Structure 1
Amino acid sequence: MKKAVLIPLFFGLLAAAFSLEVNRTEISPTSGAPVIEFINYTGPQSVVNTAAEIRAIGSGMGSVIRPAALSGTPRETGDGEKYRIIHAVDPSAASGFDADILILGPQAGVDHIDNIHRILSAYLSSAYGYSESDSSTLAVFITAYNAVNRGKIDFFRSRYKQAVLGWLEPAKVGIALKYDEWPGNTQLVVPLSEPRLAGTLSSIDTSAISSPEVVSKMREDDGAGIDDRKKLADIKEKEADQAASRATESQKASADAKKAESDKKTEAAEAKKEAGAAVKEAEKARSEAEANPGDEAARQKAEDAEKKAQQQTAEAEKKEEELAQIQQEITKKEEESAKDQTLADKKESESRTDKKEVAADEQKAEDARKEEEKRQNEAALSSAEPAWTLRLTDDAALLSELVQINLVDGKILKTSPVNSIRGRTIYDTGTHLVAIAGKKSGSGAIRLVLIDPKSLEMAKQGEDPIAEQSVLVKGGNDWYAVIEGESGNFVVGRFDQELAVKAKSAVQVNPATAIVVTPRGLLVQNKEGGIRLLRATDLVDQSR
């Protein structure tokens, strides 16, 4: 139940005396689990804040945390009495999640889950650069994640670093279901990916916040959380693309570094060789100077040689250090490329799986909608006073469709898919409706048809081609119509209740002839224009 424009932020002292709002868009019950619903306050307010003012709480804290997030250093900001963010990270710890922790202090006035979403969303946009749409989606999953794991300190201990756990309290971790339990008792934990991904679409670990436990609860909501799950699958797809691009860039950087490594190896080897030669030359000069203590020139030569050896040795060491740095960079880029490719593959797989599950749930919802619509239609039919009529679909050819009308209110209850009934004539046998239908175009044909009175679908068609201008006449338990022969001749046919032909006249008739049932037989017009009397049973000409 989303609010627009002005959103209440603070609740008054008499909150419990006023109405509550249940927010079912997050998560709902799983088998054997209690119902999980966010209950929001909706009564009078002492202070009313706009959505922009509420978002400003999150964006303000995000702008403070952003430099620390990008550098991978711990930081905290906010008012401990109201809203506070702890950016708890430890790059030295090899395993476990870092986290941002949104703490609602005892004076926090937020009393609607939508407002927590706004604060979180604005924070994620400001701290990590997420778009408003993406951050809003993440905020929904983060609150669901924290509701599912409310008070489960062992869950957090098994997944988070000590830098995070040092802040968490068993009675406060996660988020309660009712607004009046939020102030002073809420620690919303936001799982972060590794620090190097801060500022990317992978800043928040989307796999963690969309765990099977979270999604399974969202799937049992009335709307199955479909819209939010679709949006998160799209975020994961974008994560995959972004990670794949980083992997490609790292591979290119590694390739460039390897080229530089080759050149640096040559330089280092040459410098080492020159330093070795200079050392030998210095050793030789020193030996000569020591052999001639009074030779000032020999002494000076020895000193110059030693200085040169020291300089070249230092240069060789510098080249070795530069080579080692390049090699470290190669290793780093290759590791980052491998990590990003693994991340890309993981997110692509998750996105694909998520979309399949969403599609399946959408189909279930559509099937349920259709089933409910069918049930309602059947209920309407059962309480209606139905009547059949024909509605023209082709004025020129006089083709019609069968519709069922509720005589109580005049509304159309059902329309038959058979839309080529001819002659504006249809009969009700009690079990079926009988008519001539069809068109002579393409693969179309004109036949006698039986129509199911409930579904209004064609239940059966006759085998004999019927003339386009033929009338349909009932006589006793039989049906009479004009049959078109292969040679273009037309005769009268007698059909039983299953549309099987039982007799054909020898007399050739006008295809548009009237067929009049009399006690003595059928009166028809032959092709020459004369009126003939046919016996009703075998259609033998009885005219004299």
Structure 2
Amino acid sequence: MQKSLDINMSFDILSQAWRLFMKKNNLLAGIILASLVFTPISYNAAALEVDVDEIRSKRVEFINYEGPYKKADSFRDIEDIGRQLSREGRADEPVRFHMKYSIIRAIAKEEPDKFSADIFSIDKNAMVGHIDIIRRITASYLMNQYGYSLRDAKTISLFLSYYNAVHRGDTGYFGSKYKSVVMRHINTGDAGISTRYWEWPGATKMLIPLTEEAQKGRIGSVEPDLLSDRKTIDEIRRDDKNIPDRKDMADLRDRTIKRDREELEKEKKAQEVEKKAIEARKDETKKYEAELKKEKKEAEKIAVPEKRKEKVEEIEKKEKKLEEEKQAIKKKEEETKEKEKTIPDKEEKIKKREEVLKEEKKQIEKDELKRDIQKKPDLARKKLEEKEKELDKREDKIRDKELDKSIYAGKLYYLKVKEYLEGGHYNNDLYMINASTRKIMFKSPVENICGSRYDIYSGGIVIITHRGSHASGHRLTLVDKDTLKAKIYGSDDVFWRSFIEIRDGFIYAVTYEKGRHYLARFDGSLKLVAKSKEELSENTFISFWDNYIYINRLDKTIIVLNKDDLSFIDEVKP
């Protein structure tokens, strides 16, 4: 009975996920569908599943001591180790807790593209048998050394343990990421942490990657993005119990990125202020230089030689100081330009970090829903419903903000009907209008504009024109969006009432050949690059979805075409 309920519930969620997938082409729903279709539902079937990831790579699974302890240290005692290690010490020399644990602060300004690090060592006299104790010590250290909250410190410590286990002994990897001052303290035998507790004492050096601005109370003193590399994430996500920690790390990374973006904006503003100050100094020197030239001319008019000489020497001293000021301004200007050159690179790095974090957030959401589908189907259904509502609201907001198709770069392009003729033919004028002032900027000189459809993109405005009369045929015409003059005339006949749709720089319209209608795809020069073999209804609508086009065949059946070559894929039957 329970098995039947589980199956029914799973199919119920499957249906809901399918609706969400079809409605929004939502990748999350697609993952849910895959997890339901390909994941066995019954407990007996689940026992037959094979962990493919485990076959491909060795799992990070910490082996902890499970026997009795003579004396168990309290949480306070364990946390005190972290506090002791955070006390001030000399750079590049160990701060010790007896001969059990130590920290080396390996920090240098050289090699700016690599990381400094705090190196946490489990020394030879340590009697530690559980990874949670190590995490508690490092969390306490992070709280006391850098001012992290308990939540952030615990999250970082979890990731630190996996990160150092994943890269255990890999000095090639560590050497590509860390400065020489770090690398001279580790070797293949002690870099990172083993997954076996008995191998920890005397052979463990966990690297805590630091940013250049590492200091107490600063979010991101420890580099969270490096700790969240692909290998580490893959190991952490094997256990769905780590989902809350992954969320916390994503939140920490989000805050760090926001802070870095804010600081970059401050840097950009400071550079603008600096540039204005430099320009002001340059203007002052120009004015002063003009004044000195004037003074020099006046000095030459002094009749008394001694006084004239004295005045000239005084002016020359001023000129020397002026030249020094010019050189100082030039140096400052060069320094500002060098700083300015770093801005695009910094922006690009932040953008990439944002993209990686966005993908990780999506993955967390997928993993959480997949877990809930298998363990908490009611909760999964509720989340799907909430997600659907959220997507609906988001879609409404996007549509509310969308500009009219006739507006491009703040300009309104408007087709004014001059006259309507029989058979759906029009004669029109094209205008450019300033939408905010409601004034006509100018009228297009293009004559013979017909139809009521047009589209705009970076290449210009695509309209339909006839060649002297409506009986002589109709062609696509590309109009310059700044001058409204015709740039290119097409050579293929199109249906005069055709839609015009532009996607990815390609123009889609209905062609007209010997009384038959076909879908055509044109490039930016209005050359025909693809045409459907299927004959269309002349009054068809067109809809784009992903790489597909939905359109009406001559018999009014909805058919699906490939967007790129317009080849037939399928037909949609009610």
TM-score (norm 2): 0.50
Aligned to 2:384: none
Aligned to 2:252: 235
Question: 1-side partners of 2:203 and 2:295: how far apart?
Answer: 73
Question: 2-side partners of 1:126 and 1:278: how far apart?
Answer: 66
Q: 2:276 aligns with which of 259, 279, 283?
A: 259
Question: 2-side partners of 1:280 and 1:183: how far apart?
Answer: 85
Question: 2-side partners of 1:170 and 1:370: how far apart?
Answer: 44
Given the superposition, is the C-alpha separation of residues 352 and 307 from structure 1 closer, same or farther in structure 2, using an over 3 Å criterion? same
Given the superposition, is the C-alpha separation of residues 309 and 55 from structure 1 closer, same or farther in structure 2, using an over 3 Å criterion? farther
Given the superposition, is the C-alpha separation of residues 107 and 136 from structure 1 closer, same or farther in structure 2, using an over 3 Å criterion? same
Aligned to 1:213: 231
Q: Per the alignment, in what secondary structure is the counterpart of residue 64 of structure 2?
A: strand
Q: Per the alignment, in what secondary structure is the counterpart of residue 189 of structure 1?
A: strand
Question: 1-side partners of 2:315 and 2:82: how far apart?
Answer: 62
Question: 1-side partners of 2:316 and 2:238: how far apart?
Answer: 78
Q: Per the alignment, in what secondary structure is the counterpart of residue 219 of structure 2?
A: coil
Q: Alpha-carbon deviations, 1:480-501, whole Å to 9, x = none?
A: xxxxxxxxxxxxxxxxxxxxxx
Aligned to 2:164: 146
Does the CA-based 8 Å contact 1:248-1:337 persist in structure 2? no
Question: 1-side partners of 2:353 and 2:313: how far apart?
Answer: 61
Higher share of residues assigned helix:
2
**What residue identity is the alignment partner of 1:353?**
E
Given the superposition, is the C-alpha separation of residues 33 and 318 from structure 1 closer, same or farther in structure 2, using an over 3 Å criterion? same
TM-score (norm 1): 0.52
Aligned to 2:321: 314
Segments of 5+ residues of structure 1 without an aligned counterpart are 1-27, 69-73, 290-296, 374-544
Given the superposition, is the C-alpha separation of residues 149 and 358 from structure 1 closer, same or farther in structure 2, using an over 3 Å criterion? same
Matches within 5 A, 1:158-237: 158-195=176-213, 200-221=218-239, 223=240, 225-237=242-254
Matches within 5 A, 1:479-494: none
Does the CA-based 8 Å contact 2:147-2:216 persist in structure 1? no
Q: Per the alignment, in what secondary structure is the counterpart of residue 55 of structure 2?
A: coil
Q: Per the alignment, in what secondary structure is the counterpart of residue 84 of structure 1?
A: strand
Does the CA-based 8 Å contact 1:275-1:316 persist in structure 2? no
Aligned to 1:459: none
Aligned to 1:103: 121
Q: Alpha-carbon deviations, 1:173-208, whole Å to 9, x = none?
A: 010122222121111012233448996433333222
**What residue identity is the alignment partner of 2:161?**
T
Question: 1-side partners of 2:150 and 2:342: how far apart?
Answer: 28
Given the superposition, is the C-alpha separation of residues 179 and 261 from structure 1 closer, same or farther in structure 2, using an over 3 Å criterion? same
Matches within 5 A, 1:403-414: none
Question: 2-side partners of 1:355 and 1:244: how far apart?
Answer: 19
Given the superposition, is the C-alpha separation of residues 304 and 107 from structure 1 closer, same or farther in structure 2, using an over 3 Å criterion? farther
Given the superposition, is the C-alpha separation of residues 310 and 129 from structure 1 closer, same or farther in structure 2, using an over 3 Å criterion? farther
Q: Alpha-carbon deviations, 1:311-368, whole Å to 9, x = none?
A: 5423541454156336524643x45654553344233322321121111111221222
Matches within 5 A, 1:332-371: 332=339, 334=340, 337-369=343-375
Segments of 5+ residues of structure 2 without an aligned counterpart are 1-51, 380-574
Q: Per the alignment, in what secondary structure is the counterpart of residue 36 of structure 1?
A: coil
Aligned to 1:120: 138
Question: 2-side partners of 1:60 and 1:338: how far apart?
Answer: 42
**Number of residue pairs aligned between Structure 1 and Structure 2:** 327
Given the superposition, is the C-alpha separation of residues 255 and 368 from structure 1 closer, same or farther in structure 2, using an over 3 Å criterion? same
Aligned to 2:335: 328
Matches within 5 A, 1:527-542: none
Given the superposition, is the C-alpha separation of residues 308 and 53 from structure 1 closer, same or farther in structure 2, using an over 3 Å criterion? farther
Does the CA-based 8 Å contact 1:120-1:139 persist in structure 2? yes
> How big is the shift at 1:128?
3.1
Does the CA-based 8 Å contact 1:233-1:350 persist in structure 2? no
Q: Per the alignment, in what secondary structure is the counterpart of residue 347 of structure 1?
A: helix
Q: Alpha-carbon deviations, 1:354-407, whole Å to 9, x = none?
A: 12111111122122225899xxxxxxxxxxxxxxxxxxxxxxxxxxxxxxxxxx
Does the CA-based 8 Å contact 2:214-2:222 persist in structure 1? no
Q: Per the alignment, in what secondary structure is the counterpart of residue 209 of structure 2?
A: strand
Q: Report the identity percentage.
A: 29
Matches within 5 A, 1:56-95: 56-62=80-86, 64=88, 74-79=91-96, 81-95=99-113
Given the superposition, is the C-alpha separation of residues 270 and 372 from structure 1 closer, same or farther in structure 2, using an over 3 Å criterion? closer
Q: Per the alignment, in what secondary structure is the counterpart of residue 359 of structure 1?
A: helix
Given the superposition, is the C-alpha separation of residues 77 and 107 from structure 1 closer, same or farther in structure 2, using an over 3 Å criterion? same
Aligned to 1:33: 57
Question: 2-side partners of 1:326 and 1:354: how far apart?
Answer: 41
Matches within 5 A, 1:501-516: none
> How big is the shift at 1:141?
0.5
Question: 2-side partners of 1:78 and 1:339: how far apart?
Answer: 37
Question: 2-side partners of 1:278 and 1:48: how far apart?
Answer: 89
Given the superposition, is the C-alpha separation of residues 352 and 299 from structure 1 closer, same or farther in structure 2, using an over 3 Å criterion? same
Given the superposition, is the C-alpha separation of residues 267 and 343 from structure 1 closer, same or farther in structure 2, using an over 3 Å criterion? same
Given the superposition, is the C-alpha separation of residues 137 and 362 from structure 1 closer, same or farther in structure 2, using an over 3 Å criterion? same
> How big is the shift at 1:279?
8.6
Does the CA-based 8 Å contact 2:101-2:123 persist in structure 1? yes
Does the CA-based 8 Å contact 2:60-2:162 persist in structure 1? no
Does the CA-based 8 Å contact 1:176-1:182 persist in structure 2? yes
Question: 2-side partners of 1:142 and 1:371: how far apart?
Answer: 33
Question: 2-side partners of 1:87 and 1:166: how far apart?
Answer: 12
Aligned to 1:51: 75
**What residue identity is the alignment partner of 1:328?**
E
